[in-house]
């Protein structure tokens, strides 16, 4: 890595293209190099990069400046995502940035913002989401993890599951029951729990890719300061709507930029292997090309909704559904096109491009489950975007 850590500062007269050039120059000068192989090495590589980005003034494109963000306007957020995806950089660690951060920015006290936001953005503290439970996924208001008030602390007991990156998280943003079980969404609070506190046990779960991307979490008499509650007691549910909407929206624009690059690489691979001589392959590639462009416009619409209303709104379900179906189809096509070679995983020296296509094929099976299943996204679109009658089985969200 070469070059000065601080980027030349933005000037009032800087044009969008000058901003693009300045960001690109920074990425070239500080690029962290190729992703290392081991999990521990990969995390250290990612962490170091996030700190470099933050220290250089290039973290948090949509975040307020007072918390270390860039507060970019809409066209520059698009440019930022495009340049970031083009440069093949590590993404954020944990799931705090797109989900917990907007909630804290909107509902947190000044002390909470001061304490939590900067370390999250710099990657000094990794955040994981603790919403789902063994009996509470799509029907989240039936969650059972309890938080009982004891002076200026809560005592938390219960279990969470499918918590992405929880095995190396420092802070868990959780939903807990502070009201009665019957109170459903009226008795839920939003609590930040120290993942290293006594009584917290995190057990990684192995998924079909062979990796441990999520975990289950057990809380046994865990003491949490009341000052770690975001919003009022029993009034955590509206905060969930904010954070889930952002979770769906967060992915929209950077996924569009990422898949722009991925599709170009797949097209190149198809050419190299002579597969583009087949008209069916060409037809599929053209279809993906159209979809990647739609994805970009849908992502833009989502960002402009956030900028206009402060909330992504129910339409964020549309882009989430579109992206997840796209990434599953794209990887399935890639594996089919590569034939038997495409099945070799990254541990095999002969694997095509370090097994990335079969890896993507396996990992994207889960895309239509995480952050709300495809069926739930369709319900949201039907009811809240198209105004169709409500699903009688679902509580209001």
Interface residue list for ligand FAD (CB under 6 A): 95, 129-132, 137-138, 162-164, 214, 366, 369-370, 372-373, 375-376, 379, 391, 393-394
H-assigned helices in the chain:
16-30, 39-55, 74-86, 101-107, 110-122, 237-272, 279-309, 316-338, 356-363, 374-380
CA dihedral 46, 49, 51, 57 (to 10 degrees): -140
Q: 157 in helix, strand or coil?
A: strand
In 3D, which of 279, 351, 298, 359 has the Cα closest to residue 327? 359
149 membership: H or E segment, kind and range: strand 146-150
- 265 catalytic, yes or no? no
Which neighbouring-strand residues pair with 223? Answer: 155
Q: Between 8 and 395, whose beta carbon lies closer to ligand FAD?
A: 395
Compare residues 57 and 360 and give the one whose CB is closer to ligand FAD: 360
Alpha-carbon distance 89 to 83, whole Å?
10
Q: How far is CA 194 from the centre of its chain?
A: 20
Q: For residues 68 and 96, which CB has a smaller minimum distance to ligand FAD in the complex?
A: 96
For residue 169, count CB atoms less than 10 angstroms from its CB and return exposed for 0-12, middle for 13-18, buried for 19 or more: buried
> Would you say 345 or 373 has its CB closer to ligand FAD?
373
Shortest distance in whole angstroms from residue 173 CB to ligand FAD? 9
Whether 79 contacts 16, CB under 8 Å: yes
Q: What residues form DSSP beta bridges with 229? A: 191
**252 in Cβ contact with 296 (< 8 Å):** no
* Shortest distance, position 151 Cβ to ligand FAD, whole Å: 28
Identify the active-site residue in 247, 268, 332, 375.
Answer: 247
In the complex with ligand FAD, the residue whose CB is nearer, 174 or 319, is 174
Helix (H, G, I), strand (E, B) or coil at 226: helix
Q: Give DSSP secondary structure letters for 99-136.
A: IIHHHHHHH--HHHHHHHHHHHHHTSS-EEEE--BTTB
Taking the least distance from each CB to ligand FAD, the nearer of 39 and 375 is 375
Catalytic site residues? 247
């Amino acid at each position: 890595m070469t070059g000065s850590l601080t980027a030349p500062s933005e000037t009032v007269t800087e044009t969008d293209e000058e901003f693009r050039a300045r960001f690109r120059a920074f990425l070239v000068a500080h690029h962290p190099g190729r992703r290392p192989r081991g999990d521990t090495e990969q995390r250290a590589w990612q962490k170091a990069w996030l700190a470099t980005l933050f220290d250089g003034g290039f973290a948090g494109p949509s975040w307020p400046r007072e918390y270390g963000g860039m507060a970019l306007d809409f066209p520059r957020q698009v440019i930022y995502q495009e340049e970031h995806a083009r440069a093949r950089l590590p993404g954020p660690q944990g799931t705090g940035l797109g989900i917990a951060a907007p909630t804290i920015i909107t509902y947190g006290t000044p002390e909470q913002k001061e304490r939590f936001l900067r370390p999250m953005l710099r990657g000094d503290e990794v955040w994981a989401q603790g919403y789902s439970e063994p009996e509470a996924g799509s029907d989240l208001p039936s969650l059972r993890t309890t938080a009982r008030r004891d002076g200026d602390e809560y005592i938390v007991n219960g279990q969470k599951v499918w918590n992405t990156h929880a095995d190396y998280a420092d802070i868990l943003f959780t939903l807990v029951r502070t009201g009665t079980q019957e109170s459903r969404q009226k008795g839920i609070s939003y609590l930040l729990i120290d993942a290293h506190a006594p009584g917290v046990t995190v057990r990684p779960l192995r998924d079909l890719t062979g990796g441990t991307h999520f975990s289950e979490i057990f809380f046994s008499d865990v003491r949490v300061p009341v000052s770690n509650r975001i919003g009022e007691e029993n009034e955590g549910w509206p905060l969930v709507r904010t954070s889930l909407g952002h979770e769906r929206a967060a992915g929209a624009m950077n996924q569009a930029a990422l898949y722009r690059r991925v599709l170009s690489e797949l097209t190149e691979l198809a050419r190299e292997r002579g597969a583009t001589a087949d008209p069916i392959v060409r037809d599929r590639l053209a279809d993906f090309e159209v979809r990647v462009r739609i994805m970009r416009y849908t992502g833009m619409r989502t960002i402009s909704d956030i900028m206009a209303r402060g909330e992504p709104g129910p339409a964020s379900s549309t882009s989430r559904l579109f992206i997840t179906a796209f990434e599953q189809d794209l990887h399935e096509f890639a594996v089919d096109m590569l034939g038997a070679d495409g099945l070799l995983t990254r541990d095999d020296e002969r694997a095509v491009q370090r097994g990335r296509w079969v890896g993507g094929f396996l990992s994207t099976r889960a895309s239509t489950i995480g952050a709300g299943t495809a069926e739930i996204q369709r319900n949201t679109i039907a009811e809240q975007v198209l105004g169709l009658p409500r699903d009688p089985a679902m509580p209001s969200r």
